[in-house]
Amino acid sequence: MLAPRKIKYRKPQKGRMRGMASSGDYVSFGSYGLKAMEVGWITSRQIEAARITISRNVRKVGRLWIRIFPDKSITKKPAETRMGKGKGAPEYWVAVVKPGRILFELEGLSEKEAQETFKLCSNKLPIKTKMVARRELGI
Burial class (CB in 10 A: 0-12, 13-18, 19+), 131: buried
> For residue 24, what are the contacts with CB-CB under 8 A and spacing of at least 6?
67, 68, 101, 102
E strand segments, the chain: 32-36, 40-43, 63-66, 72-76, 89-97, 102-107, 129-133
In this structure, are residues 95 and 71 in contact, taking their beta carbons and an 8 Å threshold?
yes
Q: Give the residue among 10, 22, 29, 33 at the shortest CA–CA distance from 88.
A: 10
Q: What is the CATH number of domain 32-77+100-133?
A: 3.90.1170.10
Q: What percent of the chain has pLDDT over 90?
A: 83
Average confidence (pLDDT) over 110-129: 94
List pLDDT tens digits, range 48-80: 999 999 999 888 888 999 999 999 999 999 999
- Kindly report the pTM of this predicted structure: 0.90
The full set of domain ranges for the chain reads 32-77+100-133
